[in-house]
Amino acid sequence: MTANRNNNFATAPLCTMSNREFELFSKFIYDEAGIKMPHTKKTMLEARLQKRLKALGIDNFKEYAEFVFSDAGHDQEIIHLIDVVTTNKTDFFREPHHFDFLVRTAIPAMRQKRSAGESSLNPLRIWSAGCSTGEEPYTMTMVLAEYAAQTDIRFSVLATDICTRVLQSAANGVYTEERTDTIPLPLKKKYLLRSKDRSKGLVRIIPPLRSMIDFRRVNFMDDHFGIPEKQDIIFCRNVIIYFDKETQAKLMLKFHRQLQPGGFLFIGHSETLNGLGLPFSQVGNTVYRKD
């Protein structure tokens, strides 16, 4: 079987996925990315994977499964498969109370802890875990840059996602003007550049702000994230809602290990750590601190 035949798909009907094929993909997606795929999502998965079949010149899901689970497919296709099944929804200044808490409580607490013993020369490390198309890390970097202008803090921002497509979009830092409506006007003027062609309605994050963020691909299911530095603050918002309780607990324990003592974890407004028996204390609205 080859995965690169030149077929005419202009008139080709959409193929369907058997229950067995769906179960194979569903288990693989769960094992690889921690994302639950109940049978109610079969039609969605079929639709999203059609573009991969077309790109590869594959006629049906049986052939696609054979390719994915081959050695060559495992090396070449896994990232593309995960890319098309992940959901990416984010906004600038989403859940703004988190950014207020960041500068009013979390950063001062970590600064005080450092002044009591740790080197003040080391930057505060903030991780946007599941950064999608970049709105969250750019928001926190604007907020941190404004805070740093009034203080002597140094900071670094790490932004990660499992989806390579959205990471590339995030690194480019280009958005429609409508997407930036939630950014306060003074910050827009300071940190955004409008396209020379005004008819396109596009803006771009200024280069100095883009350069402050380290974008990397990270799979939460990996035993070790490949991030040697302990983080002071982790934002992982509106991500664990796609995981079952067992996967949520395992991931939060990994974050606990990745945080500095007393470090802060921010999760989404519809998420909670209650009932997971984790060594975190709730200190704000969907904000937790490492015990």
Instruction: List the chain domain ranges.
Output: 19-85, 97-290
CATH code: domain 19-85 is 1.10.155.10
Mean pLDDT, residues 125-132 taken together:
95
Distances in Å between the Cα of 121 and the Cα atoms of 16, 103, 106, 146 are 58, 19, 18, 19
Sort 280 into a burial class: Cβ within 10 Å, 0-12 / 13-18 / 19+: buried
Q: Is 48 a catalytic residue?
A: yes
pLDDT in tens, 107-118: 999 988 876 555
Task: Considering the candidates 48, 94, 111, 114, report the single residue annotated as catalytic.
Answer: 48
The model carries a pTM of 0.78
d(CA 101, CA 225) in angstroms, rounded, equals: 26
Which region among 117-131, 171-185, 250-264 has the lowest average model confidence (pLDDT)? 117-131
Token pair 């990994």 is at which residue? 254
Question: 267: closest CA among 222, 290, 234, 223?
Answer: 234
The pLDDT of residue 121: 66
Report the half-sphere exposure of 197 (CA within 13 A, side-chain side). Answer: 3
Instruction: Give me the numbers of helices (H) and strands (E) for the chain, helices first please.
Output: 12, 10
pLDDT in tens, 143-177: 999 999 998 889 999 999 988 888 999 999 999 99
Distances in Å between the Cα of 192 and the Cα atoms of 119, 128, 142, 185, 203 are 34, 20, 11, 10, 6
- CATH topology for 97-290 is Rossmann fold (3.40.50)
Task: Considering the candidates 52, 161, 232, 237, report the single residue annotated as catalytic.
Answer: 161
